[in-house]
């Protein structure tokens, strides 16, 4: 895999706050890289530093082996950015907004027409080309925001939380559109605090917390870090200390959490953990309303590494 963006020892401070603390990572050609972290962890700051929109205190950033500078226009023409805050012109309709942003890069009108047509199809705004931003729902507006950033077919695309507060239909449309962009050869950097999206979309993930990289790898690699094979949840169960101790003695058990009539048990390894637990509950005549088993999520990884939930 070819590295096309190289970030080395990047540190960014705001007065007393270290927003980014010595980050080093590569971005490889053709991948979807997820930057996952809770609010304030430094996702947007990382993107803005890479794009030379923010000064930083120390470190270096290279794109295509060239030092990234505010005036590196030869690199910038290959980059598309979709910012976290929507940035479109209220006085232009959907088509003209996309045309404006595409026109910053592509002068030829006919070429632009084709690009805009492709983009409108990709984000699914065919029925709304004459609509003004104010007339669009939140999800459609997000799609327009994305269209404006990608119409010139950039090779590298940064998307900063593009699915915040959108309806499920728009979210699916956006996620599928991003997969299509990768198929067309784009390299994508995707920030989010939704771990489900990362699992669906990303080839590789960097988990950020308080401006530091706390882990990176594929979703499977990250899950291996925490050494949990299975998580079993029992809802609607009343359990006493004595029984809890008995459960603790079951094989392969790693951790047990009993809170508000919900029992969450994590297992390190082993087969048939769920069946053995069901047998045990039956044997003890213990009623419950629901029992299910899951593979660990990235939230479990985050929880284990930081002691807190990703969503907090
Ligand atoms: N202009 C600024 N001045 C001072 N502090 C800032 C500024 N911009 C960001 N910060 C701080 O830097 C840290 C990182 O912020 P950043 O916006 O990069 O986080 P984020 O991961 O993008 O969060 P979110 O999910 O809320 O978008 C936060 O603690 C934030 O309060
Ligand atoms: Mg942000």
pLDDT tens-place string over residues 43-63: 999 999 999 999 999 999 999
Give the pLDDT confidence score for residue 165 in this predicted structure.
81
* Nearby residues for ligand 2 (ion, Cβ within 5 Å): 43-44, 84
Give the pLDDT confidence score for residue 296 in this predicted structure.
86
Q: Specify the CATH number of the domain 227-295.
A: 3.30.70.980
Average pLDDT over residues 131-147: 95
Reported as a pLDDT band with limits 50, 70 and 90, residue 139 is: very high
- Residue-averaged pLDDT of the chain: 93
Least confident piece of the model among 79-93, 173-187, 290-304: 290-304
Pairing of strands 230-235, 17-28: unpaired
Is the minimum distance from the CB of 16 to ligand 1 under 6 angstroms? no
Average pLDDT over residues 239-264: 89
Distance CA 236, CA 118 (A): 51
Q: How far is the CA of 17 from the centre of ligand 1 (A)?
A: 10
Give me the helix-helix angle, 109-123 and 168-183, nearest 10°. 130
The listed range with the strongest mean pLDDT (88-102, 166-180, 227-241) is 88-102
Burial 228-263 (b: 16+ CB within 10 A, else e): bbbbbebeebebeeebeeebeeeebbeebebeeeeb
Which CATH number applies to 3-224: 3.40.50.300, 3.30.565.10, 3.30.420.40, 3.30.413.10? 3.40.50.300
Q: Which residues contact 254 (CB under 8 A, 6 or more apart)?
A: 227, 228, 266, 267, 268
Nearest ligand atom owner, CA of 15: 1
Is the minimum distance from the CB of 42 to ligand 1 under 6 angstroms? yes
Q: 3-state class of 307 per DSSP?
A: coil
Distance CA 251, CA 118 (A): 56
Q: How far is the CA of 191 from the centre of ligand 1 (A)?
A: 13
Supply 14's token pair. Answer: 């705001």
Give the pLDDT confidence score for residue 146 in this predicted structure.
96
Which of the two residues, 138 and 307, has the higher pLDDT score? Answer: 138
Distance CA 231, CA 219 (A): 16
Is the minimum distance from the CB of 171 to ligand 1 under 6 angstroms? no
Tell which atom from ligand 1 comes closest to the C-alpha of 12: 12
Least confident piece of the model among 225-229, 257-261, 285-289: 225-229
For the chain, give every domain's residue range.
3-224, 227-295
Is the minimum distance from the CB of 40 to ligand 1 under 6 angstroms? yes
Q: Is the pLDDT of residue 4 over 90?
A: yes
Tell which atom from ligand 1 comes closest to the C-alpha of 45: 18
Nearest ligand atom owner, CA of 39: 1
Give the pLDDT confidence score for residue 33 in this predicted structure.
98
* For ligand 1, atom 5: residue with the closest CA: 14
Give the pLDDT confidence score for residue 35 in this predicted structure.
96
Burial 42-56 (b: 16+ CB within 10 A, else e): bbbbbbbbbbbebeb
> pTM score, two decimals?
0.88
pLDDT digits (tens, 9 = 90+) for 258-287: 999 999 999 987 778 899 999 999 999 999
Is the minimum distance from the CB of 12 to ligand 1 under 6 angstroms? no
Residue 134 burial by Cβ neighbours in a 10 Å radius (0-12, 13-18, 19+): exposed
Q: Is the pLDDT of residue 312 over 70?
A: no
Supply 234's token pair. Answer: 């029992």
Is the minimum distance from the CB of 19 to ligand 1 under 6 angstroms? yes
Is the minimum distance from the CB of 37 to ligand 1 under 6 angstroms? yes
Least confident piece of the model among 107-111, 113-117, 227-231: 227-231
Give the pLDDT confidence score for residue 54 in this predicted structure.
95
Q: Is the pLDDT of residue 242 over 70?
A: yes
* For ligand 1, atom 24: residue with the closest CA: 39
């Amino acid at each position: 895999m070819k590295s096309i963006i190289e970030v080395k020892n990047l540190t960014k401070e705001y007065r007393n706050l270290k927003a980014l603390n010595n980050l080093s990572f590569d971005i490889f050609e053709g991948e979807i890289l997820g930057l996952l972290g809770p609010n304030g962890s430094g996702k947007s700051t990382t993107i803005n530093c890479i794009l030379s929109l923010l000064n930083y205190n120390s470190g270096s950033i290279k794109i295509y082996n060239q030092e990234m500078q505010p005036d590196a226009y030869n690199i910038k023409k290959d980059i598309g950015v979709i910012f976290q805050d929507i940035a479109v012109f209220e006085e232009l309709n959907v088509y003209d907004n996309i045309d404006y942003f595409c026109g910053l890069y592509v002068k030829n009108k006919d070429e632009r027409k084709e690009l805009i047509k492709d983009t409108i199809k990709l984000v699914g705004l065919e029925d709304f080309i004459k609509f003004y931003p104010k007339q669009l729902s939140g999800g459609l507006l997000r799609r327009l925001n994305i269209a404006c950033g990608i119409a010139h077919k950039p090779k590298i695309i940064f998307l900063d939380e593009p699915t915040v507060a959108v309806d499920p239909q728009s979210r699916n449309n956006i996620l599928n559109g991003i997969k299509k962009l990768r198929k067309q050869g784009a390299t994508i950097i995707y920030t989010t605090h939704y771990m489900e999206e990362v699992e669906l979309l990303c080839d590789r993930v960097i988990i950020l917390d308080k401006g530091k990289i706390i882990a990176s790898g594929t979703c499977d690699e990250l899950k291996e870090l925490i050494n949990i094979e299975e998580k079993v949840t029992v809802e609607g169960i009343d359990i006493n200390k004595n029984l809890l101790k008995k459960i603790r003695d079951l094989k392969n058990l790693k951790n047990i959490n009993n809170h508000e009539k919900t029992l969450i048990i994590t297992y390190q390894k082993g087969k048939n953990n769920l069946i053995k637990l069901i047998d045990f509950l039956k044997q003890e005549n213990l009623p419950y309303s629901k029992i299910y088993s899951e593979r660990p999520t990235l939230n479990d990884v985050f929880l284990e590494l930081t002691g807190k939930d990703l969503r907090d």
